Amino acid sequence: MASKFLLIAQREYLSRVRKKAFIVLTLAVPLLLAVFGFIIAKMASSDNDTTDVIEVRDDSGLGVASRLVSTPQLRFETTTGTLADAKKGFQKAKHDGLVYLPAGLDVEKPVGVQFFGKGNISLKKQGAVESALNKAFSDLKMQKSGLTQDQLDRLRSKVDLQAVSLDETGKEANSNALATSGMSYALALAIYMFIFIYGVQIMRGVGEEKSSRIMEVMLSSVKPFDLMMGKIVGIAAVGLTQFLLWGVLSFGVSSVVMPLLTGKDKPKTEVAAGTTAAGATAVVVADDDEPRSAGAQFDKSLESQKQQPVMTGRFKAFEMLAALPLGTILFGFIVYFLGGYLLYGALFGAVGAAVDDQTDTQQFMFPITMPLILSYIVGVSVILRNPDGPVAFWMSMFPLTSPIAMVIRLPFGVPMWQLALSIFLLILGFLGTVWVAARIYRVGILMYGKKVTYKELGKWMFYKG
């Protein structure tokens, strides 16, 4: 029995990896991803290099227009005349927007400011203009209250919060939310794609063999259960081979090809300075949008450079990854990667055996894939924000959703009893799913010319023999 099972798995594996399509796809995907990533990065950088010109018509009498600070991405130009004249000039000019500040604006509640654009205005552009206006009105309020920028800086407090992960043994490790969330998203996406891509291959492979009547010959010497499991394991081996090659080739492309395309990384020093209308001292806008005096900011940057070693982007990435529970993540990913595929692969195989026409698979595909799609959507929208909440816990226990829900939680740290319970329930779910799929498979694989319903599938599960 075992030898026949292995022979079927070997046949499925070799027949697929020897195809030209498999070889071409395996070699081309990492290179295409690198090229697309390079193109997207170039497009994003070129978009940041453009400068939007915004005309400003100020009838408020508060001098707001003179307080709007231009940036490399946004430049403000004051216009004269009436609002109608400003609109006509804006429509003729190749500018990107027109801001109108009406008369009678209240500094405390500036209501009625309008932003005109050619066509629909993007969120990025609107947000940038709003940010500049908010800063201008904040300067007016500060001037009205008699405070200076230095006094305001001294009143503000900025807490440098260091996140530390504390495990059950009391061991401390640095915690990085960005690295943790990125790892969770990548693992969930890998399992989601793997189950969908290769699960559908199982369904189509069974359907093709059924329609060509090859199954009638094979079943004369092999049991239906061995045939189904051999096909599932064989295609799983194909998928693992392809994912492994993609990982090795992607690393090679990122290490060799990408530096040649992008050039060596060079440290960049960015200084953004601007002056107010009253001729105040230049300020530097930090990443947190809090204005600070240029001298203080420069001194702080020099001090930080002396205290901290220079670290490239790759070393920073390794440092962030080292803070994660990599052993638990790797173990859990392999278990849920294989367990989720085997669970869903059996169901996909049962669907392929139950129908004659591939168009009929849609009615059975939806209830199978719905838990998978739901776990991915809820995972990236809910579980990532609260990995220890009740939704995350119960979805990581239910076998149909745990392959994605639990791998999202793993980088954040999961109690061992929850991980063990989830794996135990996943194994039970896999065994139950295989039993159901095998009962459907053994009848449906030889059933031709009959429209299958859910009621009919229920009857097949309890046929004797």
Q: Which of 350, 344, 386 has its CA nearest to residue 193?
A: 344
pLDDT band at residue 427 under the 50/70/90 scheme: very high
Answer whether residue 293 is part of any domain.
Answer: no
Average the pLDDT over 135-140 and give the result. 85
**Rounded distance between C-alpha atoms, residue 201 and residue 242, angstroms:** 14
pLDDT band at residue 101 under the 50/70/90 scheme: confident
pLDDT of the residue at 323? 63
Q: What is the torsional sign of CA 447, 449, 455, 457?
A: positive
Q: Say if residue 108 is in the same domain as residue 184.
A: no
Q: What is the torsional sign of CA 336, 342, 348, 354?
A: negative
Q: Say if residue 134 is in the same domain as residue 233.
A: no
Cβ atoms of 368 and 347 within 8 Å: the answer is yes
pLDDT of the residue at 328? 83
Q: What percent of the chain lies above the pLDDT cut of 70?
A: 75
Averaged pLDDT score across all residues of the chain: 76
Of the listed ranges 64-78, 279-293, 339-353, the least confidently predicted one is: 279-293
Q: Say if residue 338 is in the same domain as residue 444.
A: yes
Average the pLDDT over 91-96 and give the result. 81
Q: Say if residue 423 is in the same domain as residue 368.
A: yes
Q: Say if residue 83 is in the same domain as residue 136.
A: yes
Residue 107's CATH number: 3.40.190.10
Q: Say if residue 207 is in the same domain as residue 69.
A: no
Q: Say if residue 324 is in the same domain as residue 450.
A: yes
Of the listed ranges 4-8, 139-143, 245-249, 358-362, the least confidently predicted one is: 358-362
Give 310-367 pLDDT, tens digit per residue. Answer: 444 444 555 666 667 778 888 988 899 888 888 898 888 888 877 776 666 777 788 8
Q: Say if residue 353 is in the same domain as residue 454.
A: yes
Q: Say if residue 115 is in the same domain as residue 240.
A: no
Answer whether residue 130 is part of any domain.
Answer: yes
pLDDT band at residue 305 under the 50/70/90 scheme: very low
Answer whether residue 345 is part of any domain.
Answer: yes
pLDDT band at residue 70 under the 50/70/90 scheme: confident
Domain of residue 436 covers 175-244+320-460
**Rounded distance between C-alpha atoms, residue 354 and residue 29, angstroms:** 33
> Does 48 or 133 have the greater pLDDT score?
133
Answer whether residue 263 is part of any domain.
Answer: no
Q: Say if residue 212 is in the same domain as residue 328.
A: yes
Tell me how many domains the chain contains.
2
> Does 451 or 308 have the greater pLDDT score?
451
Residue 155 pLDDT greater than 90, yes or no = no
